[in-house]
Structure 1
């Protein structure tokens, strides 16, 4: 059966990249690897470039050619091959969310843990619907009211990863105190509800929230917000950076810099228990 041309989804790109990496470590050319598998060169090239399907049953034999027989790696790549073409629920919002944002949600849905530093906004995974609408309408300056509402719905739906059965996403968030003191004059109930949401989330075993106080010592987070997304199995950690025009991902050696930056940022923040008390005091001050 000829290999079917496939849309280069993020999962398919990650799978192709992993297979290419293992081939490289084995010191094999595409021609040599394809010959060992009984494939034509074009099929393997298309798989590595995320332009063709690879069947789950083909993963173990291909990895064996590369000298990789670790059951954990084989299982992880078979699972990714099985789900590479699966559509995410967010693709029904494809007319209002960018391709990069969709890719980020694929990463988020596959992730084991996310570490985030939030200097000015509360992270999307922790937002109430009211807060989401308020900040999106203020920051997404080119969006219509209907698009703002749709984007807020997306942020709410993303939060299902926090309570998914068996393997809820682990979130470690450092939020600057300034973000907790944000005001919505036209909707004074927004921030009390948002702060209560943070307190509720902080009681979950898979969520840690720390507050960066206004009088904190200088720390690497002063350079801006970032997300560090980590995975189970053989998948490399990814850093997500955002700005007014969207976001972009970083992998490889750059990740270690952000991991070290997060550790130093955490050290400058309040401990988890003190952070909870700080959020409570700020909430009491915002209630009318």
Structure 2
């Protein structure tokens, strides 16, 4: 019986991408792999699995990897677990039509990351926003989405923040934000910014969070390219790099060399920013006069 069409969840897309990578590295065609897997397999089935529109069970995942020459127990175990959980949809899937695929990938990645690095110069990171700030920013920027759906956008943004305080192994987080973001004004709602700055101070005091401010008089640094997020995972998953520029975002899961380039760029960004203690002092300075 043909493999039923599966929901292309973020986990299933990640699984398919990894299987395709290992098959290509082994120089096996779709039909060759199907022949190795058995009589019930064919090239189109392998293609559907790799494109996240068909299921593959844990034992078949192990066999697939073995045919690719992948026998490392750590890799095999991680892939088997991913195959078993591939059909699970994230909590954000209930907000139909609100979460675009790039954001879905990023949210799923945030939930499993060990280390997260973020540089933002155009808007405060969603992981740090208060509900009031998120509502103001959404009203100003989500102009292509009907206003009645804006509350859902805010709900998703607030839901993402649970990763910062999860009880088991919260990610090590490094945030660098531009000082200009501390000076935003919301004239009709003057309390919004004070509450937001208090939120930044509270988060910065979490033991696994380092928050730095890029001062207005900082010299040139790689952050000029746009907002940047770098998420690292346990082996074998590659580092995810998310870049936002010109209102568009894209995710890269490239080679180790490419990931290392972005990591070095982030180190230069951190070096150009104020240390954490001086950053908190600057945030408090901008709070003066706010009600």
Q: What is the TM-score with the length of structure 2 in the denominator?
A: 0.90
1:28 aligns with 2:38: no
Task: With the length of structure 1 as denominator, give the TM-score of the two structures.
Answer: 0.91
Does the CA contact (< 8 Å) of 1:114 and 1:169 recur in 2? yes
Q: Tell me what 2:264 maps to.
A: 260
Report how many residues are paired: 287
Q: Quick one: distance in 1 between partners of 2:146 and 2:42?
A: 50
1:135 aligns with 2:134: no
Contact preservation (8 Å) 2:179, 2:214: yes
**Residue 273 in structure 1 maps to residue 277 in structure 2:** yes
SS in 1 for 2:242: strand
Which residue of the other structure, out of 277, 284, 290, is the alignment partner of 1:287?
Answer: 290
1:68 aligns with 70
State whether residues 226 and 245 of structure 2, in contact with CA within 8 Å, keep that contact through their aligned partners in structure 1: no
The range that moved more, 121-130 or 248-257, is 248-257
Alpha-carbon contact 2:9-2:89 (below 8 Å) kept: no
Quick check: 1:191–1:286 contact (8 Å CA) kept in 2? no
Deviates more, 1:24-33 or 1:203-212: 24-33
TM superposition shift of 1:78: 1.2
Give the corresponding residue for 1:37.
Answer: 37
Task: Name the SS for the 2:28 alignment partner.
Answer: coil
Say which of 189, 194, 197 aligns to 1:192: 194
For the structure 1 residues 121 and 36, does the alpha-carbon distance in structure 2 shift closer, same or farther, using more than 3 Å as the test? same
Report matched runs for 1:13-162 at 5 Å. 13-38=13-38, 39-162=41-164
Offset at residue 67 of structure 1 (A): 2.1
- My pick for the range that moved more, 147-156 or 38-47, is 38-47
Aligned-partner SS, 1:216? coil
Task: Quote the RMSD (CA, aligned, Å).
Answer: 2.0
- Once the two structures are overlaid, the 10-residue window that deviates more, 102-111 or 9-18, is 102-111
The question of whether the paired residues in 2 share the 8 Å contact of 1:117 and 1:173 is answered with yes
- 1:217 corresponding residue in structure 2: 219
Specify the SS of the correspondent of 1:50: coil
Task: From the superposition, tell whether residues 148 and 45 of structure 1 become closer, same or farther in structure 2 (CA, over 3 Å).
Answer: closer
How far off is 1:132 after superposition? 0.6
> Do the aligned partners of 1:12 and 1:85 also contact (CA within 8 Å) in 2?
yes
| Secondary structure at the counterpart of residue 210 of structure 1 | strand
- Once the two structures are superposed, what CA deviation does each residue of 1:19-40 show, in whole Å capped at 9, x if it has no partner? 1222222333333333332233
Distance 2:138 2:42 in 1: 49
Structure 1: how far apart are the matches of 2:209 and 2:62?
36
Shift of 1:150: 1.9
**Deviation at residue 178 of structure 1 after TM alignment:** 0.7
1:186 and 1:276 map into 2 onto residues whose CA distance is 26
Q: Secondary structure of the equivalent of 1:165?
A: coil
Q: Tell me if the contact between 1:239 and 1:249 (Cα under 8 Å) persists in the aligned partners.
A: yes
Greater CA deviation, 128-137 or 156-165? 156-165
- The Cα offsets for residues 45-100 of structure 1, whole Å up to 9 and x where unpaired, read as 32222221011122222222222222211121112112212111111111333233
